Structure 1
Amino acid sequence: MRQHAVALSVPRIFQGPTQHFYSEDQTDVTHWSLRFKVGKFVFDKGLALTGISLMVGVALVLLLLNPLLNPGPLFFRQTRMGKNGAEFRMWKFRTMIPVDESQMRKADGALEQDRITPLGQFLRTYRIDELPNFLNVLRGDMSVIGPRPDSASHAKHFAKVIPHYNYRFKVKPGITGLAQIESGYAEGIEATEIKAHYDQIYVETSSGRLDLYIAVRTILVMLTGYGAR
C-alpha cells in the first residue's frame, strides 16, 4: 500500500488489504466484491429502519423542547451532492437559528457558531441531529458509511480548487465516514483538502473491515460525545 498523503490512526488490521487506483473518469469502484456489496446493502437498509424508528421518538421529544430551547422548524433540509455528482435533499434535525438560504455561509466561510443553539449543540455532540439521514439511506441517496456529503454549492466550489475532491463521487455519500473519525469537521479550504484525502483513501481501500472500524468509532462518539466536532 502506498504512503498516504495524510496520517491514519486506523489499526492496520482494519485497513483495506489492498489499495486500488481509479482514474478521474471512472464513475464507480470496481474492487468491491459481491459479498461486500450485499453486506453493505443489508446493513444500510436494516440500520435505516431501526434509525427511523428512533428518529420518530426523538422527533416527538424535540416537538416539546424546540419551542423553548430551539425555536423554529423541526427539520433542516439542504441540497447535497452525492454519487456521480447527483444532487439530493438531505434531512437533519435543525440545530441552528433559521436564516434565509441566501444568508448561509459560503464554502470558504467560517462555521457559524453563533447560530448553533444550546439544544442544537447537544444534538450535534451526540450526532442525534443526523438521525433523519436514515430517510436518505432508505431512499438510496446515501449509505451509512461513506464520504460525508457537502452542500451542492460548496461541492461545486471545492471540485474546482481541490484536485482530488471528486474521488468522493465514485461511491454513495455516508452518514459517517473515514474523514469524520480521522479529522472531524472540516472548516475552510485547507481542512476540506485534508478531508478529501481521507475520502480518497476510503474510496481506494474500502472494505468490510474498514466499514466495521468506522461504525464502531462512530458509535463511541454517539455514546460518549468524545471526539465529536
Structure 2
Amino acid sequence: MPLDQARPRRRVFFGCKRAFDLVVSLLLLPLLVICAVTLLMLNPFHNQGPLFFVQTRMGRNCKPFKAIKFRSMRPADRVARGADGPLDEERITPLGRFMRKSRIDELPQILNVLRGDMSLIGPRPDYFSHARRYVREIPGYRARHMVRPGISGLAQTELGYAVGIEATRRKVQADLFYIANTSFLLELWIFWRTLSVVAKRAGS
C-alpha cells in the first residue's frame, strides 16, 4: 500500500485504539479500587511495605515516565539488577508472586493509560536506565518507541518475560513486527492471548 494511503488509515486506527484504551481503563477502575483495598488489608501480613511501586520507564519517543504497579517485591533503596542481569527472584514476596502470576500487579497501569503514558497493548516499557543501554546496543530498540508502550504486547504473549540483552533483542523483533503490522485483527489476537496467559497464570 502506498505511504500516502497508509498514513490516514494508521491515524484512524490509532484514534480508535486510544478511544478503546480510555473506555476499557475507565471500566477497570472499580476493579482497581477493589484490588487496592484488598491488598491494603493483606499486605501487613504477606507483603509488608508500600501498596504501590513507581518506577521510571522509557515511553513513547524514548521519553521517561513514571509507571505504576502494585508492589510485588520487598522494598529496596535502588534497582541493583543490571541491564543484563537476572530478575531478583529472592525479593519477590509470596503475595507478590501470586500477583505477578495473575498479572494483578499490572492493574494500576490503567492510570498510566488514562494519563496517556501507555496503551493497553503495545511494546512493554523497560526500566529507563536499562533502556538507555539497550538503545545504544540493540538495533531497532529506539524504533520500538514510535508508539505508546503497552500493559501487554505481542512480545509478552509470544515470548514471555525478557531478561537480559539477548532476550531483549528477540523482544525488539516482535515489537517491530507489531508496529509494522498494526491492525484491529492483531490487537484482538494479542488481547485474546493476554487473557489466555492470565487464565493459565503464566506471568513472570
Instruction: Give the alignment's TM-score, normalised by structure 2.
Output: 0.94
Q: CA deviation at 1:32?
A: 4.5
Which of 63, 77, 81 does residue 40 from structure 2 map onto?
A: 63
**Unaligned runs of at least 5 residues, structure 1:** 1-17, 22-28
Given that 1:75 and 1:94 are in contact with CA atoms closer than 8 Å, whether structure 2 keeps it comes out as: yes
The 5 Å alignment of 1:29-44 reads 30=7, 32-44=9-21
Aligned to 1:84: 61
Aligned to 1:146: 122
Q: CA deviation at 1:123?
A: 0.3
When structure 1 is superposed on structure 2, of 76-85 and 30-39 the one drifting more is 30-39
Query: Take 1:33 and 1:161, find their aligned partners in 2: how far apart are those partners?
Result: 29
**Unaligned runs of at least 5 residues, structure 2:** none
Paired amino acid for 1:202: Y
Given that 1:167 and 1:203 are in contact with CA atoms closer than 8 Å, whether structure 2 keeps it comes out as: no
Partner secondary structure for residue 164 of structure 1: coil
Partner secondary structure for residue 67 of structure 2: strand
Which of 17, 21, 30 does residue 53 from structure 1 map onto?
A: 30
Q: CA deviation at 1:105?
A: 1.0
Aligned to 2:193: 217
Which of 72, 97, 101 does residue 95 from structure 1 map onto?
A: 72
Q: Percent identity?
A: 50
Query: Take 2:58 and 2:9, find their aligned partners in 1: how far apart are those partners?
Result: 22
Higher relative contact order (CA 8 A, sep 6+): 1
Given that 1:142 and 1:173 are in contact with CA atoms closer than 8 Å, whether structure 2 keeps it comes out as: yes
The 5 Å alignment of 1:16-31 reads 30=7
More helix as a share of residues? 2
Q: CA deviation at 1:96?
A: 0.3
Paired amino acid for 1:97: R
Query: Take 2:189 and 2:112, find their aligned partners in 1: how far apart are those partners?
Result: 22
Deviations 1:105-152 (A, max 9, x none): 111111110001111010011110000000000000001000000011
Paired amino acid for 1:39: C
Q: Are 1:169 and 2:145 an aligned pair?
A: yes
Given that 1:79 and 1:87 are in contact with CA atoms closer than 8 Å, whether structure 2 keeps it comes out as: yes
Which of 151, 168, 174 does residue 198 from structure 1 map onto?
A: 174
Q: Are 1:228 and 2:203 an aligned pair?
A: yes
Query: Take 1:87 and 1:53, find their aligned partners in 2: how far apart are those partners?
Result: 28
When structure 1 is superposed on structure 2, of 172-181 and 41-50 the one drifting more is 41-50
Query: Take 1:139 and 1:89, find their aligned partners in 2: how far apart are those partners?
Result: 11
Query: Take 1:204 and 1:195, find their aligned partners in 2: how far apart are those partners?
Result: 14
